[in-house]
A and B are shown apart, each in its own frame.
Chain A
Amino acid sequence: DVKVTQSSRYLVKRTGEKVFLECVQDMDHENMFWYRQDPGLGLRLIYFSYDVKMKEKGDIPEGYSVSREKKERFSLILESASTNQTSMYLCATKTGLNQPQHFGDGTRLSIL
């Protein structure tokens, strides 16, 4: 089974802090994704990566950056956290075309 591990289930940070969300997968998948999920807005793609050191903007990249130094790890960075970034963050991976994405358990982030 594919295992996608997100570093924290719950996280509380303050406005202006730099926040790191980590995602690690154990299946050697090329593609990794970061989403946020909000009531009424569904799942929205923030960034994705199809290889080490490669990144592509998703639909809502503003206020976020990512890092992929190793194949198994994809980090989401909130450069200066704001209250409107309070959300559920989900990491996903997949191996290639016509394959499903596999998700982690999510991180519920609150910015105070």
Chain B
Amino acid sequence: SQELEQSPQSLIVQEGKNLTINCTSSKTLYGLYWYKQKYGEGLIFLMMLQKGGEEKSHEKITAKLDEKKQQSSLHITASQPSHAGIYLCGADDIMEYGNKLVFGAGTILRVKS
């Protein structure tokens, strides 16, 4: 079955610093989704990547999918307290015809002001 490994598990950054979160798959990714979750709340969809080499941005968050489609990274520029939360990557589970998502364990981000 497909597995997603996220790194780091958690990080604390000073406000204004840049940071990167990685998501690595055991198999080729056909659809990769990034979500953000604030503690005790639901997941908010950030971005979807499908093509090798694809890069998307939303405000100060950029997500990339590598050419081999086995790794994605989420980069936050000039972090702010509003960026704090849990970031999860999810991927279409091809074994289930893409109807299910497999999720990584999440990365907890704290931003110190």
Contact = CB atoms under 8 A, between A and B. Distances in A.
- Interface majority SS (helix, strand, loop, mixed), chain A: strand
Given A58-B100, A100-B48, A42 B106 contact: yes
Contacts of B97: 97
A6 B43 CA distance: 13
The B interface, classified by DSSP as helix, strand, loop or mixed, is loop
Contacts of B61: none
Interface residues of A, number: 24
A104 B42 CA distance: 6
Contacts of A101: 33, 45, 90, 101
Interface of A: 4, 6, 31, 33, 42-43, 45, 48, 50, 58, 88, 90, 92, 97-106, 108
Given A98-B30, A100-B45, 18 more contacts: A4-B42, A6-B42, A33-B100, A42-B103, A42-B105, A42-B106, A43-B103, A50-B99, A97-B98, A98-B50, A98-B92, A100-B48, A101-B101, A103-B42, A103-B43, A105-B42, A106-B41, A106-B42
Interface of B: 30-31, 33, 35, 40-45, 48, 50, 88, 90, 92, 97-101, 103-106
